[in-house]
Amino acid sequence: MKRALPVFWLVLLLTVPLWLRDQYLLHTLITTGIFTIAAMSLNLLLGYTGQLSLGHVAFFGIGAYASALTTLGFDVELFAGFRVVHQPWPAIVGFFVAIVVAGVSGYMIGRLSFKVRGAYFVIVTISFAEVTRLVALNWVELTQGPLALTNIPPFTLGFPGLGTYTLWNKVAYYYFVLAAGLGAYVVISRLVGSRIGRAMIALKNNESLASSVGIDVTRYLVLAAVVSAAVAGGAGSLYAHYLKIIDPDIFLFVYTVTMVIMVITGGKGTLAGPIVGGIIFGFLPVIVRDFAAPAMQWILYGALMIVIVFVLPQGVVPAVEHWVTNRARRKLAATILAGTAKPGDGR
Amino acid sequence: MDQFLQHLVNAVILGGTYALLGIGLTLIFGIMRVVNFAHGELYAFGAYTVYLVAAALGLDFFLGLAVAVIAGALLGALIEITLLRPLRTDDIDTVMLVMIGAWIVMQNTELMVWGGVAKAIVTPFPDTPLVIGPVSLSWLRVFVLLVALVLIVGSYLLIHRTKLGKAMRATFQDRDTAALMGVNIKGIYTATFAIGSGLAAAAGALLGPVFLVTPTMGDLASLKAFAIVILGGLGNITGATIGGFILALVEELGAGYVSSGYRDAMGFLIIIAVLLFKPTGLFARAERVG
């Protein structure tokens, strides 16, 4: 049963375009998938190392801009006549450039930000995100500023011996996002399941104890930031090429808040948490849009966030797991009492 | 040079309201250790209250200012009692998440009630500017600076000279001992948050007529307030006052001589620089890392 469950979900996800004909729902599913990937990356920092980065949207946005600019090309003057000219490259290259550029930004911002902890870390990360937003808004020569980067071409995949395939429609993007999501999931789950992941959890639980047993705290935090930023950058690239237009609003704080709400609601520090939270908050607008204006929807999200912190501080996934184990225990206890099983069965 | 004097005067006037924002947050963030993302929303709330009283209801502008400060303090007390009191023993991140929720709810309530279009508040001050030598400034701005200075001095006296201020300082130095000495701890927490909120509302009420009132005006205000508190050192009222003026000066000169587009980036660059190079703030007092 436990082994069948992931297979069931995978088959369900793979067959979605076969039975889902509603283009709006498919679109929601794609954007939900992109934000879920971003939430998964945030969870690596927030859930596993315990660092609340509220500047996460910076990496998402950096990835989006890096990918779009790689694909569209640019011609900027850096200083006194020194020009950097870049000819357009294929979109799929942009995707990998986005991952690398975001990862490098994660390294640099991580190195600086992890000098402080707690509230100061939060504020430094917000500051970095706001500075990137203002750069995107004001460096018009590179980013077009508020005019936005438009006509971002879709991804084209090349298959050796089979020719190329361009992702023109939603179904194709759905599968591409799904594949990227699975990739991100595998990377993150391998990482947190490894020795490195255990070191991260150790320093979340007790940083001074972790460093006293020889865990190089800054190194692991920066590593988590790099992986997290790289995954977020990839998600940003997907977003840019799917919507075909990006403007500096991509750096708005509300997107970080969306990711945080997804992680907190689903359950930080669990692999399934951001996915569950992502699906809940991705589809909430679909459910409430008929009777609630956007402002009302946000009020609902904010209130829900407060309620979650008060009622389910660990999030949905740990609460469900807790309920399931408790039920199994009660069942076992009942069978022991009835004399049909010995203690130790079902372990 | 003339331009420089004008920038300097503008910075002083803006600095007064920034100092109010900073003092309010240094009480809440510096002393209570609540990372208050709703601080900017109380600033916006103050501005909208003045708009409601003075423009929408057509009553007196000065009455509007007083109502804004009192309503801001009451709203702060309500937030403290309903959201923060039950979470007193929880960690700083949990409280931060709740305040983010409160911030989203408040901002979007403003958007729903007032709409997204910016509102202008008309004041009873004459339109002709006051000209002193090469510097010209509006009467409204002079009034804003005077009120801000009165409130700054008032809050300094409140914290350092009154019994309530003494109880506040005692509570945040050592909660248990203060309780044993007969201090009403719950009341002190509520009062501190209410005073901080009232000051934020006052800052919004004063700057609302100078600029325009929009639902998102609180976002930058929150982050600027954090910059001021970090610059001045946690819980340090004098530091927050000086920090407010420094931020205003840096913004004003940055906008005047570097680029007006990066005006709002100055605060963030200050935050990053201070936390990385002198994390105890310019006016060191307490430990910072951890």
Q: What is the pLDDT of residues A281-326, one digit of tens each?
A: 888 878 887 777 778 888 888 888 888 888 888 888 888 888 888 8
Dig out the tokens for A286 from the structure: 């679909």
Distance from CA of B222 to the nearest CA of A (A): 11
Interface contact flag, B265 A117, Cβ < 8 Å = no
B211: Cα separation from own chain's centroid: 16
* Contact status of A148 with chain B (Cβ, < 8 Å): no
B224, closest residue in chain A (CA to CA): A127
Q: What is the pLDDT of residues B213-239, one digit of tens each?
A: 888 888 888 888 888 888 887 778 888
Dig out the tokens for A24 from the structure: 């709006």
Q: What is the pLDDT of residues A94-112, one digit of tens each?
A: 888 888 888 998 998 888 8
Q: Give A-chain residues touching B227 at CB under 8 angstroms.
A: 127
Which residues are paired to A164 by β-bridges?
A: A158
Distance from CA of B163 to the nearest CA of A (A): 30
* Contact status of B111 with chain A (Cβ, < 8 Å): yes
Q: Is residue A274 in some structural domain? A: no
CATH annotation of B2-277:
1.10.3470
Question: Which structural domain range is residue A243 located in?
Answer: 22-252
Task: Count the Cβ atoms, other than its own, within 10 Å of residue B63.
Answer: 13
Please check the confidence at residue A346 and state whether its pLDDT lies above 60: no
Domain boundaries, chain B: 2-277
Helix (H, G, I), strand (E, B) or coil at B53: helix
> For residue B286, what pLDDT is reported?
47
B87, closest residue in chain A (CA to CA): A310
Q: Is residue A315 in some structural domain? A: no
> For residue A321, what pLDDT is reported?
84
CA distance B74 to B108: 20
Please check the confidence at residue A162 and state whether its pLDDT lies above 80: no
A74, A152 Cβ separation under 8 angstroms: no
Q: Is residue A343 in some structural domain? A: no
> For residue A51, what pLDDT is reported?
84
Residue A344: pLDDT band (50, 70, 90) is: low
Interface contact flag, B96 A130, Cβ < 8 Å = no
Q: Is residue A126 in some structural domain? A: yes
Over its C-alpha atoms, chain A yields an Rg (Å, rounded) of 22
Tracing tokens 């000066």 back to the chain, one arrives at B249
The residue among A94, A24, A39 whose CA lies nearest residue A241 is A94
Please check the confidence at residue A329 and state whether its pLDDT lies above 50: yes
Which residues are paired to A76 by β-bridges?
A: A84
> For residue A62, what pLDDT is reported?
92
Residues (pLDDT < 50) of chain B are 286-290
Given the cut 0.90, state whether the ipTM is greater than it.
Answer: no
Please check the confidence at residue A339 and state whether its pLDDT lies above 90: no
Give the closest of A124, A299, A309 to B108, CB-based. A299
Which residues are paired to B137 by β-bridges?
A: B130
DSSP, res B129: P
For residue A312, with 0-12 CB atoms within 10 Å meaning exposed, 13-18 middle and 19 or more buried, which class applies?
A: middle
Q: Give B-chain residues touching A138 at CB under 8 angstroms.
A: 259, 261-262
Q: Is residue A259 in some structural domain? A: no
Q: What is the 3-state secondary structure (H, E, C) of chain A?
A: CCCHHHHHHHHHHHHHHHHCCCHHHHHHHHHHHHHHHHHHHHHHHHHHHCCCCCCCHHHHHHHHHHHHHHHHCEEEEEECCEEEEECCCCHHHHHHHHHHHHHHHHHHHHHHHCCCCHHHHHHHHHHHHHHHHHHHHHCHHHHCHHHCECCCCCCEEEECCCEEEECCCHHHHHHHHHHHHHHHHHHHHHHHHCHHHHHHHHHHHCHHHHHHCCCCHHHHHHHHHHHHHHHHHHHHHHHHHHHCCECHHHHCHHHHHHHHHHHHHHCCCCCCHHHHHHHHHHHHHHHHCCCCCHHHHHHHHHHHHHHHHHHCCCCHHHHHHHHHHHHHHHHHHHHHHCCCCCCCCCC
DSSP, res B12: H
Give the closest of A115, A117, A257 to B104, CB-based. A257
